[in-house]
Amino acid sequence: MGNVGTIDRIIRIIIGVALIAWSLSAGNLWWIAGAIIVATGVFKFCGLYKVLGINTCGKSSTS
């Protein structure tokens, strides 16, 4: 059902966590973007990928 593959998920989670950590230490609101990036990795779904027709899972979404 998801459209985010394993490598893509790992990268998203790492970048999202790093962005959250940096944002909280810097005192800005970029943690919100980090949380969204982490969520797309955890839930294996990216709305932007859906709109653009991108699927990094490696399996067909029509099966």
List pLDDT tens digits, range 2-32. 999 999 999 999 999 999 999 999 999 999 9
Residue 37 maps to a domain: yes
For the entire predicted model, the pTM comes to 0.84
Residue 26 maps to a domain: yes
Q: What is the span of the domain harbouring residue 27?
A: 6-52
Question: Is 9 within 8 Å of 44 (Cβ atoms)?
Answer: yes
Torsion, Cα 44 12 39 42, to 10 degrees, reads 40
Residue 1 maps to a domain: no
Which among 61, 56, 58, 62 has a CA at the least distance from the CA of 9? 56
Residue 39 maps to a domain: yes
Domain count, the chain: 1
Residue 59 maps to a domain: no
Residue 57 maps to a domain: no
